[in-house]
Structure 1
Amino acid sequence: MRISTAYSFDSSIDNLQKRQTEMSQSQMQLTSGKKVNVASDDPIAAARAERALASISREDANQRSLDASRNVMQLSESAIGDAVSLLQTARESMIAAGNGSYSDKERQALALKLKDIRAQMLTIANRSDGSNGFVFGGQGSATPPFLDTTTGVQFVGQGGQVQAAAGETLNLTVDGDQTWLKAKTGNGVYKTNPVSTNTGAGWITAGSVTSPSALPYPADPSITPPQYAVNFTVNAGMTTYSVTKDGGGTTLTDVPYVSGKAIVIDGMSFAVSGQPADTDSFTIDQATNDLSVFDALDSAINSLTTSNLGSGQVMQAVNQGLSNLDSILSNVSAARSAVGESLNRMDSIEGRITASKLAAETERSNAEDLDMVSAISKFQNQQTGYEAALKSYAMVQKLSLFQYING
């Protein structure tokens, strides 16, 4: 079999080109640090890497949502902490207002302090989240969600919470309506109030629960909650009281009145102190969850700025103000706990995001990253082979007729 000179030339050139292409590809891999630079290098590995990159992008988006949510929750936790401090100060002022030696001027000075606290509370409720939104904006609001009107502070936003578009539940706002305007009235189960026509010096406490199983509250939603009334009678210098239910049957009749002694009925215990006048009355109703922090402060301010109040009226205002502030503090503290729980949960979420992203990074690396030690060794072998091919081609060039004649 004869091998022509032309075939030898073509074969040598093809070998050189092939080795040069292999070296060029190896050089590109060494430069980029990847064994898959285009899909044609390894279609299966390229697909694996693409899926991993998509997963990494999703986790990056989840991380951004988490960071945004954490920022809002930290702002809200700080805001609620400021509010708790202010409410504690307001509570101290209400306790001071109960001092029997205080004059109207001194109580009015405390009212001015409460007005300043109210203004600060409104600023806190309208706190910005730093990105053209509001921390307590509910489901979003382009304007401050709380508006101070002639009838009190109104929530003009939308109740609820905005959530980030992520695989986890991440809140971007706090429900301001629930936080600031939805505390329980009274002691959280029932509320006690004096009748506005009372003329005596008696006042009623917020009360407590003695037997939860005997309570008429909370009543079934299908029925109207029962209402109790404590009615006082003064006859020949002797004060007695009777307790009626729903204006009908009398559950207690002509009980001798002792100031501060507990009245226990249907699992409830409360006390009337001071000296009620004849026909004075106090009511007991089911508590509702519509107590606003601003209405509570407005009520306390109004009481402290009213002149010539009797001792009983002062004590009633103080007791009711303290009861309202305690309920509001409980509601605000619950909101703060919920925010704290969200922040704790975010630590776990961040751990899951980090783990998922690491797994995707590992998968991408396995699919496309280059083993540098192996690649360098391979390149050196290719370089040696290319040099050998060049020498072989140089030898083939000497096989031409002209070289033979000249030789």
Structure 2
Amino acid sequence: MRISTLTIFEQSMSSLNRQQGSLMHVSQQIASGRRVVNPSDDPQAASQAVQVSQSLAINSQYAEARVSARNALAQEESILNSVSSAISSARTLIIQASNDPLSDADRASVASELRGIYETVIGQANATDGNGRYLFGGYKDGSEPFVRDASGNVSYVGDTNSREVRVDASRLMPVADNGDAIFRSVHTGAGYLAEADSGNQGSVVFKGPQVVDESDPGYGDAYDIAFSVDAQGVATYSVNGGTAQAYEAGQSIRFGGLSITLDGTPADGDSIQLDRAQNMNTDLFRTFEKALAVLEQPASGDTARAARANTLSNVLREFDNSLDNVLTTRASVGARMNELDVVDSVSDNRSLNYQEKLSGLEDLDYVSAIAEYSLRQIGLQAAQQAFIDIKGMTLFDRI
């Protein structure tokens, strides 16, 4: 069989190119530390590696989202801590102002301090994060959620949604509670409040109400205590228009699972309303305004002093309810921050599993690769030497 010189050269060059290509491929594997340099090296492993890499990237994005969520919750928790401290200070001032020996000037001084706390709470309610977004406006976070009108009344103009962040594939977490739920709501277990009618002319003051029997069939209903005084000055009271009963100053009356203590002298037509706290005033700012109104206004006469005492008693209960609500929200924020720690731990384990799987698909076995590299070097050297030997086998060397 006759083989042309051209064929010999072409086959030799092809062999050299193959050996050089194989050597270069192993060199790339060693340099990159990856077994699969090109998808053609292992199509199945390359496909799985793409999927695992995408899962790893998504997991990393959720981790970044949790950092943002934790920062937002930490800001909210700090503000709620300040608000709860402010409400506690306001309660202390109301208790102080309820002491009968205080003069009107003393109460005015208390009112001045209380107004400072009031302004602080409004400022906290309109707090922003580091990016200028208002924390408690829901998704309307571009402007102040609490605004005051010309009369000084505070109203909420945010929405009732809570901003949420997806912190994991299966968890959409609220990262900022709306102001309506924090500053204008009470806990569902807040109980009852009592409020004297603004038109009362007598001097009846109340203490309570206290819940004594939640199993009573009438528990949960609203009640109205109405007073009647006849021409002889005999006072009676009725509950929700029921049978009139003799009134005695200092007595404690029970109805609907509740107990309330009444003292003082009623006037004909006076009344006191009782209802569940969530059906009464639930606005923290309105509570401040009620307290300031009676403390800044001097009270003269038994009727005015009774109205002030009843208002302060009511305000103290409302502050208690607002404080409970803020503390409940703060506890919820803390629970969410703890949940983020748990999700972080799960995510770290998931990320480690992804990295291990990706390593098994792509990473290089250096021992095998170095052995392969040495083998390819020998193969290339053998091909080069064979080419040199074959190239020397020509008749022209014999002429």
1:228 aligns with 2:224: yes
1:211 corresponds to which of 207, 210, 213? 213
1:307 aligns with 2:308: no
Q: Distance in 1 between matches of 2:22 and 2:388?
A: 21
1:182-205, Cα deviation, whole Å (9 max, x unpaired): 1269x9333211122323332112
For 1:389, give the aligned amino acid: A
Question: For residue 172 of structure 1, what is the aligned residue in structure 2?
Answer: 175
Question: For residue 357 of structure 1, what is the aligned residue in structure 2?
Answer: 351
Residue 151 of structure 1 and its aligned partner are, at CA, apart by 5.5
Question: For residue 285 of structure 1, what is the aligned residue in structure 2?
Answer: 275
Query: Normalization by structure 1: what TM-score?
Result: 0.89
Residue 346 of structure 1 and its aligned partner are, at CA, apart by 1.0
Q: Distance in 2 between matches of 1:340 and 1:244?
A: 44
The answer to whether the 8 Å contact 2:227/2:267 transfers is: no
Question: For residue 249 of structure 1, what is the aligned residue in structure 2?
Answer: 242
Q: How many equivalent pairs are there?
A: 392
Residue 315 of structure 1 and its aligned partner are, at CA, apart by 2.3
1:155-206, Cα deviation, whole Å (9 max, x unpaired): 1111111222452122232121111111269x93332111223233321123
Q: Distance in 2 between matches of 1:215 and 1:141?
A: 45
Q: Distance in 1 between matches of 2:370 and 2:196?
A: 92
The answer to whether the 8 Å contact 2:227/2:266 transfers is: no
1:199 aligns with 2:221: no
Residue 365 of structure 1 and its aligned partner are, at CA, apart by 1.8
Question: For residue 161 of structure 2, what is the aligned residue in structure 1?
Answer: 160
Residue 339 of structure 1 and its aligned partner are, at CA, apart by 0.9
The answer to whether the 8 Å contact 2:138/2:163 transfers is: yes
Question: For residue 222 of structure 1, what is the aligned residue in structure 2?
Answer: none
Question: For residue 270 of structure 1, what is the aligned residue in structure 2?
Answer: 260
1:297-340, Cα deviation, whole Å (9 max, x unpaired): 01001110110244433322321121111011011111111111
Question: For residue 130 of structure 2, what is the aligned residue in structure 1?
Answer: 130
The answer to whether the 8 Å contact 1:190/1:217 transfers is: no
Q: Distance in 2 between matches of 1:287 and 1:89?
A: 22
Indicate the percent of aligned positions where both proteins have the same amino acid. Answer: 27
For 2:160, give the aligned amino acid: G
The answer to whether the 8 Å contact 2:299/2:308 transfers is: no
Q: Distance in 1 between matches of 2:15 and 2:27?
A: 18
The answer to whether the 8 Å contact 1:214/1:266 transfers is: yes
Residue 2 of structure 1 and its aligned partner are, at CA, apart by 6.3
Structure 1: unaligned runs, 5 residues or longer: 220-225
| RMSD of aligned alpha carbons | 2.4
Query: Normalization by structure 2: what TM-score?
Result: 0.90
Residue 209 of structure 1 and its aligned partner are, at CA, apart by 1.1
Structure 2: unaligned runs, 5 residues or longer: none
For 1:31, give the aligned amino acid: A
Q: Distance in 1 between matches of 2:122 and 2:197?
A: 31
Q: Which moved further from structure 2: 321-330 or 375-384?
A: 375-384
